[in-house]
Amino acid sequence: MTLKRLAFTLLILILGILGAASPVFAQGQVGTVVSPDQIIAADYFASDSTVTIAGTVNGDAYLVGGNILVSGTINGSLLALGGTINVTGNVTNNIRVIAGQLIVSGPVGGNITSLGGTTNLTAGANVSGSLVAGAGNVSIFAPLGRGINAVAGQMTVGSSVGGDVSAYVGQLILTPSARVAGDLTYWSDLDAQVQSGAEVAGTTTRNTPPTRAPQEPRQPIDRAQIQAALARAAFIARLVDFVSALIIGLLLIYVFPVFTQMTVGTIRKEPWKSLGVGLLTLIVTPIIGFILLALIVGIPLALILFGLYLIALYVSRIFVILLVGELILRKASPGWALVLGLVLYEVITLIPFLGPIVVFFVLLFGLGAIVLGENNVYRQLRGKNLA
């Protein structure tokens, strides 16, 4: 398991997707394309507004994008996060996705796991395995080799299903072409619409969704319960912080690579200057902001200043974390360095007494480097008469 794969898997795990040699990674262009004559001999990683796989990937494909089209062949599994995911090609193993809309129109050799707005298996598809889906609307018109487990607002079955169907739905519809080889078990307030011609070989069971039982009088909460609740809240907060920092760091690396590397380079070359400027910025900025607020006419400027100040405070640690990762993994890509640096940062900041000190100095180094970097950019623009 490479660090690059870990970074992309973490991105997908944020929303619930679960899924080594020389992986290929594509990012940053306007539209990432694997052309029809292109063969990727390993796992493939891509993030872009539009990702198209028209060629062959001889491994797993990890994709993140607004629109994802797979019209070629993936000789592995597809793990993706996207707005619209359209699979018209061949996936030899599993499909695991989170999408606003998933459309499958090609053969799938394994199982499909889908979470999102709509999941649509068209008549042109053929799924050898099972379907696990959570969506507002699930439409199944492709034959399934195994069963279905789904949670949906509405689910329509219009094909053969080679196993049991278990669903928690608002409305279940079986069209005349539906053929269920096993049992049909569903939870709904409405009877299923089993249209004439539909067949269920096993037993059909409708269950009424459970109603909430009357609440018993609350018992006093003892200290242990409070401590346990606080511990859970702290864990969730740290997990959210880790994932947020990872996402923002990857965006900085691949969307603003020049500024990011320039800021990291500033910390490396001028650490003490970065520290001093960071401390000065931390103290002086709020003072200037409150002065502007007091002037009334300066309120809009003060609000802008405070907004930029808060953003700078939050992202400042990313550059220090990235530098630490690059110092350890000298020849690795920035994505790898970010993941390693972020893990080390999270571990160190858990240490009592030392953790807060590390957080404070990391903030100062990063904040100072941001200010120095922006100042250098401004000077370059002035030198070219662009500012």
Could you give the 3-state DSSP secondary structure of residue 296?
coil
Same domain for 230 and 138, yes or no, is: no
| Cα-based angle 76, 77, 81 (whole degrees, multiple of 5) | 145
Q: What are the pLDDT tens digits along the chain (387 aa)? A: 444 444 444 444 433 333 332 333 344 444 678 999 999 998 888 877 788 999 999 999 988 777 899 999 999 999 887 788 999 999 999 999 878 899 999 999 999 998 878 999 999 999 999 999 988 899 999 999 999 999 888 999 999 999 999 999 989 999 999 999 999 999 998 999 999 999 999 999 999 877 655 566 666 656 777 777 777 787 787 778 788 888 888 888 888 888 888 888 888 888 888 888 889 888 888 888 888 777 766 778 878 888 888 888 888 899 998 888 888 877 767 888 888 888 888 888 888 788 888 889 998 998 888 888 777 766 766 666 555
Write down which residue in 207, 239, 272 finishes a domain.
207
Same domain for 197 and 236, yes or no, is: no
Looking at the domain assignment, is residue 215 inside a domain? no
108 neighbors 127 (Cβ within 8 angstroms): yes
Q: For position 232, what pLDDT does the model report? A: 76
63 neighbors 78 (Cβ within 8 angstroms): yes
Q: Please, where are the H alpha helices in the chain?
A: 3-13, 223-255, 257-269, 271-294, 299-328, 334-348, 354-383
Same domain for 255 and 319, yes or no, is: yes
Looking at the domain assignment, is residue 217 inside a domain? no
Boundaries of domain holding 254: 224-383
Same domain for 361 and 303, yes or no, is: yes
Q: Is 189 exposed, middle or buried (0-12, 13-18, 19+ CB in 10 A)?
A: exposed
Cα-Cα end-to-end distance for the chain: 47
Looking at the domain assignment, is residue 214 inside a domain? no
Same domain for 78 and 164, yes or no, is: yes
